[in-house]
Amino acid sequence: MGYSLFVVQPKLIRIVGGDVVRLEDAYRELAHGNRWRVVALIATLWATGIGLVLLRPGDWALVAVKAAALAGASALFWWVSWRAWPQRVFALPEELPRLQRNFRRVALAMFSLVALGFAAGVLMRG
């Protein structure tokens, strides 16, 4: 996710010369077929998190931080996948810059939540 946000997406903007329609086509191509992979990953994270809590209870404050971060990232992913993505697919060219900015903000929020959950997990191991 970080690689996409901080390396791939800026390079795509340069490659297409700022053409928002070509950029959107590139984003669609990269995103195609990934929704259900991410849903499976999120489900696995929830299942393993619940399993670990049952097997190794403790550190409840950090568990709560991890759960809240995963819940937030899950909610944002739901919004992107089932609300915002259809709007973006059917957007007019003049609507694309605003939608692309919104998606980037949400992606940065998701990245931050994942990083928070990861950091809480590292602290739990310490």
pLDDT at 67: 94
In this predicted model, what pLDDT tens digit does every residue of 45-84 receive, in sequence order?
Answer: 999 989 888 887 888 899 999 999 999 999 999 999 999 9
Mean pLDDT of the chain: 94
What are the structure tokens assigned to 97, written together? 């810059």
Buried b (16+ CB within 10 A) or exposed e, 55-78: eeeebeebbebbbebbebbbebbe
The burial of 52, by beta-carbon neighbours within 10 Å (0-12 exposed, 13-18 middle, 19 or more buried), is given as middle
Q: What is the pLDDT of residues 75-102, one digit of tens each?
A: 999 999 999 999 999 999 999 999 999 9
Predicted confidence (pLDDT) at residue 25 exceeds the cutoff of 90: yes
Instruction: Provide the whole-model pTM.
Output: 0.88
Burial of 120 (0-12, 13-18, 19+ CB in 10 A): buried
